[in-house]
Amino acid sequence: MEITAAVCRTKSLPFTIETLELDDPRADEVLVRVVASGVCHTDLICRDQWYDVPLPAVFGHEGAGVVERVGSNVTKVKPGDHVVMSFVSCGQCPTCRAGRVAYCAELYARNFSGARPDGSNALHNGGTAIHGHFFGQSSWATYSIAYERNVVKVDPGAPLELLGPLGCGIQTGAGAVLNTLHPHAGTSLAVFGAGAVGLSAVMAARVAGCTTIIAVDIKANRLALAQELGATHVIDGSNVDAAATIKDITRGGVDFSLETTASPKVFRSAVDCLGPLGTCGLIGAAALGTEATFDMNDILLPGKTIKGVIEGDSVPDVFIPRLVELIRQDRFPLSRLVRSYGLSEVNAAAEASLSGATIKPVLVMA
């Protein structure tokens, strides 16, 4: 079938809107009519080849839409179901079998290779293969081929034009709090970076009952929104020592911190601001080979923990419906982060994301 998609043909150059051919779904695949798809930092760093995704490619890994057709082995969803598309995992490795699908042994290959596990592709342009299957979906398109494993059925009354980002960025920030750190009511959290991921963490911390929630950023509009969404304190990291300020606020350091910026300097601050037995979750995706340094004794003596967090430690089939219910109850106001763009406005959406003018751009296909 013919579809319209945003194609990345050359490193760091603008996306082009093209007509492509999409094959029928295989036995374990699902054809989804995409309603909307979020623009995530990961899409843009792959365009810029921080991660070596083969080009030309169609990105997009926060898609939401309606099931059009299913493969012969698919039982999880049926045509007409509303779904959010998330990351894909193998389901067979030890971590998948232990329920830790975000740490699948084949996570990188299955999400960043731009192809199916057998090397084939469902996307073509005049007989030439286009790398699709990005995160098992390549959803910057009017239609997408996903797998049964990475589609999540959601309430048909929920707004699909809003839900796509739950598939990655939003579940990453919220899940880092609710699934990884597990803060008790009354504890403290510092979030470094008040973008979509960081603000999702702020909202989740409020849900969890944290009583000191500190947001650190260098953009005034983001800090103002963080306060509206639940931050009890905000810090402009461009003109103060954020770690020292956090220690002053908390009289010794926070229980938990999250680093979402991928900056080694900021990562150091996120660790330095911890109190005794504090835990720092690393979320920010840096270029391969990026290194950070720490005072080893500042980790050893207070018993600090540094933990990498992928996809918010989420099992999407479990966690995404929970987030949808929080949205429905107005306890997780995701709409405050989102601005919609048409698919043809993908380059404007990308620029707005990079500049911080829009917290969470979402491409609407209609």
Give the percent of the chain with pLDDT over 90.
Answer: 98
Paired strand residues for 323 = none
Q: Residue 54: inside a domain, yes or no?
A: yes
pLDDT category at 127 given cuts 50, 70, 90 is confident
Q: Residue 316: inside a domain, yes or no?
A: no
Q: Are residues 148 and 178 in the same domain?
A: no
In tens, the pLDDT along 47-79 reads 999 999 999 999 999 999 999 999 999 999 999
pLDDT category at 94 given cuts 50, 70, 90 is very high
pTM of the model: 0.96
**263 has a pLDDT exceeding 90:** yes
Q: Are residues 13 and 148 in the same domain?
A: yes
Q: Residue 327: inside a domain, yes or no?
A: no
Q: Are residues 158 and 240 in the same domain?
A: no
Q: Residue 325: inside a domain, yes or no?
A: no
- 121, 142, 143: which is closest to 57 by C-alpha? 121
Q: Are residues 136 and 195 in the same domain?
A: no
Q: Residue 37: inside a domain, yes or no?
A: yes
pLDDT category at 264 given cuts 50, 70, 90 is very high
Q: Which domain holds residue 76?
A: 2-167+333-364
Q: Are residues 102 and 10 in the same domain?
A: yes
> What is the DSSP track for 177-199?
IIIII-PPTT-EEEEE--SHHHH
Q: Residue 324: inside a domain, yes or no?
A: no
Q: Are residues 149 and 176 in the same domain?
A: no
Give CA separation, 262 vs 38, 83, 193, 236, in Å: 20, 30, 9, 17
> pLDDT at position 366, please?
76
Q: Are residues 177 and 197 in the same domain?
A: yes
Give the percent of the chain with pLDDT over 70.
Answer: 100
Q: Are residues 33 and 103 in the same domain?
A: yes
In tens, the pLDDT along 312-340 reads 999 999 999 999 999 999 999 999 999 99
Q: How many domains are there within the chain?
A: 2
Length of the chain: 366
- The CATH number covering residue 192 comes to 3.40.50.720
Q: Are residues 296 and 353 in the same domain?
A: no
Q: Are residues 41 and 143 in the same domain?
A: yes
Contacts of 22 (CB under 8 A, 6+ apart): 1, 2, 3, 31, 122, 123, 124, 141, 143, 145
Q: Are residues 36 and 180 in the same domain?
A: no
**365 has a pLDDT exceeding 90:** yes
pLDDT category at 135 given cuts 50, 70, 90 is very high
- The CATH number covering residue 147 comes to 3.90.180.10
DSSP secondary structure letter of residue 262: -
Q: Are residues 278 and 304 in the same domain?
A: yes
Q: Residue 318: inside a domain, yes or no?
A: no
